[in-house]
Amino acid sequence: MPPLVPPFLIGLIVAPLAKRLLKPLVRGVVKTSVGVVMEVKKAAHEAGENIHDLAAEVAADMVAAQIASGDGHRPAQSPASNGERNGAANGEKGEAADRGEGEARSPRIRATATGKAQ
């Protein structure tokens, strides 16, 4: 009958060999996966910036088109215009009276947080 080798002796011999072989392999897998994750995060961030820039350009184009077509949003009857009529009867002058009755106030275009010109 052949001599039996206890399993723990096999473990004592194989463990250091497995450590030497598996440690670089596991380290390479972890390093590669971390690199892939970093690249994906970078690509997602750039895509988000591109979408934000595109949305800002579209908004600027829409505002420019509204200004060009003269479709500025004007309320039908605002509380300020009621006060101006009452104030005009009392001899006071309002902001709309300074501009003239037919002139509309143009919308203001604000700069974006990215600092790019629109």
CA–CA separation, 70 and 43 (whole Å):
40
So where are the chain's domains? 39-71
Give me 3's structure tokens.
């001599």
Q: Which of 10-19, 20-29, 73-82 has the highest mean pLDDT?
A: 20-29
Higher pLDDT, 73 or 20: 20
Answer yes or no: are the C-beta atoms of 108 and 72 closer than 8 Å: no
At 26-61, the pLDDT tens digits run 999 999 999 999 999 999 999 999 999 999 999 999
